[in-house]
Amino acid sequence: MSIYTLLGRSGEARRGRLSTRRGAIETPCFMPVGTRGTVKAMSPAELEELGAEIILGNTYHLFLRPGLDIIRAAGGLHPFSNWKRPILTDSGGFQVFSLAGLRKLEADGVRFASHIDGSRFFLGPVESMNIQRTLDSDIVMAFDECTPYPATWEEARKSLEITSRWERMSREQPLNDGQIRFGIVQGSTYADLRERSAREIVDIGFDGYAVGGVSVGESEPEMLAAVEAAVPFLPQEAPRYLMGVGTPRQIIESVARGIDMFDCVMPTRLGRHGTAFVGDGATLPVKAGRFAKDFTPIDPECGCYACRNFTRAYIRHLFNVGEILGVRLVTIHNLHYFLTLMRRIRTAIEVGSFEELRARFTV
RNA sequence: GGUGGGAUUCCCGAGUGGCUAAAGGGGGCAGACUGUAAAUCUGCUGGCUCCGCCUUCGGUGGUUCGAAUCCACCUCCCACCA
């Protein structure tokens, strides 16, 4: 039985449903990032109210803290965090990239020096799968090497080969009942390598496929070209996930190229830093001094809790004095923005107005 | 009334003859952020016709080649003594 049901399409854009043991997810979808077992500043109840159907967790971070003993004793990440809907856990492959200065690549994985206290530990496909089993997430990501940017063709090829090897090892590890596993395509900005990686990963065989190694510093055209190069080699009947992307326009452009799932820290991080998403992908620096006496909501058109109840002037004040409510309100607004964007995209594909919607996102 | 201490750029506060438009902090302003080492980080913060010039360190007047820094007087503030 397939985990992915195609419900409709508009060109390459797909409207679908992803089935997990903790419920279905309507796609295209956006997954808020909860690296350390919490979507920063949000309670599970708030996330549910915002309409988040699935969130992310992270293998590397949760392995370090609180550690497997505590997660195991709690009965997994779900009971530990009281989030009842699906969780996708990243494998730690992104930390191979983001913590490049603190690790050493080896044949069967990566030797890390903890970014917290410098203590050494080893994380490879076997370890990552083991940790994700303990976390008991619903979607497990294969362990990959997120290729840095820029990379020469030769470097990208070598990195891709490491990833294929590690993903094959990942695939050999057992999972808990009902857990599903996604493979990750690498290949940097090289179309031929993207194709090769996609073929190899599909050949290994996963429940879903991710395009990784994007949003690592490359230009938007390069990112979209990487998607275009990989997607044709991914099976129609499996969900496709573009990792770490992105801006509203990048999301909609990727949907137009056949992507079903997204995650990005942008709404939550920018929320904490006082920048709100408005309109058709524009940003508004709410904490800016020019809003000191602006008694309108962040976005008058928005229906989120923050916009229904608070003004720019007040939220700016909260940031100005360092009150956590400011962080929370803009996070709520931004997550509402991204989740509503996905809802609009899904509806547009259903009713045949996707290209119309897409054309509006020019920022 | 007396004695002592003090007044520095938006604020606090260093600086006691040239290396000082003046440390540091705060505040303010701007920018960055894409599978989160991030409620973080970076830059700017006297003016201008801006590779140079002008104005500024309570006020006025001196000393000196040169003063925020030394001297005199004045104004205000603080502490203690009457």
Nearest nt to the A262 alpha carbon by C1': B35
- For residue A2, the model assigns a pLDDT of 87
Catalytic sites of A, residue numbers: 90, 263
- Find, among A244, A242, A166, A240, the residue nearest to A208 by Cα: A240
Distance of CA A119 to the CA centre of its chain: 28
- Find, among A233, A223, A218, A288, the residue nearest to A253 by Cα: A223
CA-to-CA distance for A88 and A100, rounded, in angstroms? 23
Name the amino acid, one letter, at A155: E
Nearest nt to the A95 alpha carbon by C1': B35
Positions of strand B less than 7 angstroms from a protein CB? 27-41
- Find, among A266, A260, A174, A137, the residue nearest to A210 by Cα: A260
- For residue A363, the model assigns a pLDDT of 82
Mean pLDDT of A290-306: 96
Straight-line distance from CA A302 to C1' B2, in Å?
71
Straight-line distance from CA A342 to C1' B1, in Å?
82
Straight-line distance from CA A289 to C1' B56, in Å?
27
| Protein residue closest to B31, using CA and C1' | A285
ipTM summary value: 0.94
Could you tell me which residues come within 8 angstroms of residue A10 by beta carbon, excluding any fewer than 6 positions away?
A348, A349, A352, A354, A355
pLDDT (tens digit per residue) in A40-68: 999 999 999 999 999 999 999 999 999 99
Residue A1 has pLDDT above 70, yes or no: no
State the average pLDDT for chain A. 97
pLDDT (tens digit per residue) in A126-179: 999 999 999 999 999 999 999 999 999 999 999 999 999 999 999 999 999 999
Residue A216 has pLDDT above 90, yes or no: yes
- For residue A294, the model assigns a pLDDT of 95
φ/ψ bin of A304: left (φ > 0), alpha (ψ from -120 to 50), beta (otherwise): beta
pLDDT (tens digit per residue) in A19-43: 999 999 999 999 999 999 999 999 9
Straight-line distance from CA A322 to C1' B5, in Å?
38
Nearest nt to the A146 alpha carbon by C1': B35
